[in-house]
Amino acid sequence: MVFQDYALFPWMTVRQNIGFGPRQRQLPRKEVEDIADEFVKLVGLEHAANRYPSQLSGGMQQRVAIARVLANNANILLMDEPFGALDALTREQLQRELLQIWTRTRVTILFVTHSVEEAALLADRVLVMSAGPGRIESDIRIDLPRPRDVSSPEFNAVRRELAQRLTSHMAPARVSETVA
């Protein structure tokens, strides 16, 4: 599970955070080190492997959180608005990196987001949930090739469809007339 707030152990280095799960599974120390090094490299943090979370940017912390889950040999990566607290440039960078990680690992990712563009960019399938009680309102397949061009007409058609599905249950806003 990857959370919006990273949930890293502040007293552990990047390498130690990533190796936590394998260590808990009581794998041999050398194997834990090899796994940690593999995933440090996968998320591009070799230069920061011995730093503590407080010494990392938000984007770097989120990469550690993703690597920590993958180091546990996860079949499914659950991500609850993992990029929501990041600035726009870091968010775009991590979206690209997540797609690269997915390309290499092919792990199933369940990604919760409130961003229509992020859903259209990352997903093969989008489930639109109702406001409450939570239930699936729409199930939309996205058959666009990767990498996706956010400025293409095809991408924008998908984005419009998703936005329409999200707002279809809402009453149109009324504009009140004022007399000058």
The one-digit pLDDT tens for each residue of the chain (180 residues) are: 887 777 899 999 999 999 999 999 999 999 999 999 999 998 889 999 999 999 999 889 988 998 998 898 888 889 888 888 788 888 888 898 889 888 988 889 999 998 999 999 999 999 988 877 778 888 999 999 999 999 999 999 999 999 988 876 665 555 555 555
**Class of CATH domain 1-112:** alpha beta
Q: Is 134 helix (H, G, I), strand (E, B) or coil?
A: coil
pLDDT (0 to 100) of residue 135: 85
pTM: predicted TM-score of the whole model, two decimal places: 0.78
Domain ranges of the chain: 1-112, 114-168
Give residue 47's pLDDT: 96
pLDDT at 168: 66
Q: At what angle do helices 58-70 and 29-42 cross, to 10 degrees?
A: 130
| Predicted pLDDT of residue 172 | 57
Contacts of 44 (CB under 8 A, 6+ apart): 63, 97
Please answer whether residues 112 and 105 qualify as being in contact, where contact means their C-beta atoms are separated by less than 8 angstroms: no
Which two three-digit tokens encode residue 130? 């109702």
pLDDT for 3 equals: 75
